[in-house]
Structure 1
Amino acid sequence: MSRKVVSTTNAPAALGPYSQAIVSDNTVYVSGQIPINPASGEIEAKDITGQTEQVLKNLEAVLVASGSSIANVVKTTCFLDDINEWPAMNDVYAKVFHTSPPARSAFEVGKLPKNAKVEIEAIAKLN
């Protein structure tokens, strides 16, 4: 089994002892991305729409750094601090995953790092 750590400055650095992603054989496991703007290091968007947009940009940056892409995502898990904001998150998500969307789970959680409203992790295949 091969194992390669993925790291890019185009997405926020890990906030703890974990990798942005791991490539193992032909699969990319992307750690949960929160809406930190990698340029500023801050969560700039206050609403779920803006935060979801940033999360998906971060997710895409890690996927590209791994040698994959949004089109190769096979599974996501979405964590929301308020499940009532799921429709707004889903609208943004649908714009990115509009063709052959991946399998997905979504959960309300008690709290997310940095008080984010949304976090998304993904599993993808390499290009």
Structure 2
Amino acid sequence: MFVPVTPKGASKPIAPYVHGSKASGEPLYVAGTLAISAEGESLHVGDIKAQTRYVIEQILAVVEAAGGKPTDIAYNMIMLKQRSDYAAFNEVYAEFFGAAPPARYCIICELVRDEFLVEIASIAHI
């Protein structure tokens, strides 16, 4: 579980996140997660919302397998392929983290396959 940390006079977040997260418990590091099937096939090609939803669900499955819950995620590192996907990504992201979003960063970069639009790595404290 984490406690949001917002310093006095901090800017209003422009997306679902907090400025800082103070976490207790043992850390769990979730590897960069992509929209890829168990067989290694790319999923939801061309659909940022479906890829985002799939990636977050896979991260939550790892957290839950370690005995945690979604609110144990304290930090997300987000990589998007295209700036134009930012708003649609945040729409889905807020469905999962809107009420108590963790700290995060988001960069625009190339990913390991052309068809991947989003990758997220997470840190949870369980």
Tell me whether the two structures share a fold, i.e. TM-score over 0.5.
Answer: yes
Partner-residue secondary structure (3-state), 1:41: coil
Identity %: 32
Extract unaligned runs of 5+ from structure 2. 1-24
Name the counterpart of 1:57. 57
Higher relative contact order (CA 8 A, sep 6+): 2
Asked if the contact 1:80/1:106 (under 8 Å) is kept, the reply is yes
CA-CA distance at 1:54 after TM superposition: 0.7
- TM-score, normalised to structure 1, is 0.73
1:35 and 2:14 are equivalent in the alignment: no
2:113 alignment counterpart: 114
Structure 1 unaligned residues grouped into runs of 5+: 1-24
1:48 to 2:48 alignment: yes
TM-score, scaled to structure 2: 0.74
Cα distance in structure 1, aligned partners of 2:111 and 2:67: 28
- 2: distance between equivalents of 1:95 and 1:31? 21
Tell me, in whole angstroms, the C-alpha distance in 2 between the residues paired with 1:51 and 1:41: 14
In 2, Cα distance between equivalents of 1:54 and 1:41: 14
Instruction: Report runs of 4+ in structure 1 exceeding 4 Å deviation.
Output: none
1:10-36: CA deviations, max 9, x gaps? Answer: xxxxxxxxxxxxxxx711111110011
Q: How much does 1:71 deviate? A: 1.3
| Cα drift, residue 114 of structure 1 | 2.7
Instruction: Give yes or no for contact 1:37–1:54 (8 Å, CA) kept in 2.
Output: no
Count of aligned residue pairs for this structure pair: 100
